[in-house]
């Protein structure tokens, strides 16, 4: 079985389109956009820890936004010129899942806005 077949078996069609084919969910449609509980946001595909609730903020952009990744350093960066734009894609360093993009218009202390697709994340509430 190919790696693509394994991902197709594990993920929903939308999760596969976003995480394995660098798609984007519709703005304001994601289940984690308004999540406000304490907890951790992990990669939907492999479970790597990516973001904490302490860095989440409402950017008003339609996707969950964070001003920093966790200290685990599991988020990678690469240049993206798709759709006629010049952006920085963010992806999971462990399994190469597409997460979204990062922009330089976020709040202090980092000035970063990690704009992340809800379907690329699992939320693990703090006990």
Query: How many structural domains does the chain have?
Result: 1
Let me know if residue 106 belongs to a domain: yes
115 is catalytic: yes
Q: Which of 91, 89, 53 is nearest to 70 (CA)?
A: 53
Report the CATH number at residue 12.
Answer: 2.170.150.20
Q: What is the pTM of this model?
A: 0.94
Active-site hit among 115, 116, 119, 121: 115
pLDDT in tens, the chain (127 residues): 458 889 999 999 999 999 999 999 999 999 999 999 999 999 999 999 999 999 999 999 999 999 999 999 999 999 988 778 889 999 999 999 999 999 999 999 999 999 999 999 999 999 7
**Is residue 37 situated within a structural domain?**
no
Given a contact cutoff of 8 angstroms between Cβ atoms, the answer to whether 106 and 15 are in contact is: no
Among the listed residues 23, 15, 85, the one whose alpha carbon sits nearest the alpha carbon of residue 44: 15
- Is 98 a member of any domain? yes
> For residues 110 and 123, is the Cβ–Cβ distance under 8 A?
no
Note whether residue 35 is domain-resident.
Answer: no
Q: Give the domain range for residue 23.
A: 3-27+44-125
Which residues are annotated as part of the binding site for Zn(2+)? Answer: 43, 46, 92, 95
Q: Examine residue 67 and state whether it is found in any structural domain, yes or no.
A: yes
DSSP state letter for 106: -
Residue list, annotated binding site = 43, 46, 92, 95
Q: What is the 3-state secondary structure (H, E, C) of 15-50?
A: HHHHHHHCCCCCCCCCCCCCCCCCEEEEECCCCCEE
The dihedral through the CA atoms of 69, 19, 61, 88 has a sign that is: positive
Cβ contacts of 91 within 8 Å, gap of 6 or more: 75, 76, 77, 78, 97, 98, 99
């Amino acid at each position: 079985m190919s790696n693509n077949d394994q991902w197709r078996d594990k993920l929903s069609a939308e999760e596969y389109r976003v995480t394995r084919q660098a798609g984007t969910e519709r703005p304001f449609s994601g289940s984690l956009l308004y999540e406000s509980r304490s907890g951790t946001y992990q990669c939907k595909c492999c479970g790597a820890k990516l973001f904490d609730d302490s860095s989440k903020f409402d950017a008003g952009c339609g996707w969950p936004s964070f001003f920093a990744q966790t200290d685990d350093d599991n988020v990678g960066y690469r240049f993206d010129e798709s759709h006629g734009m010049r952006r920085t894609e963010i992806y999971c360093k462990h399994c190469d899942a597409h997460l979204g993009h990062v922009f330089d218009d976020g709040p202090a202390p980092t000035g970063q806005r990690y704009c992340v697709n809800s379907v690329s994340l699992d939320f693990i509430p703090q006990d």
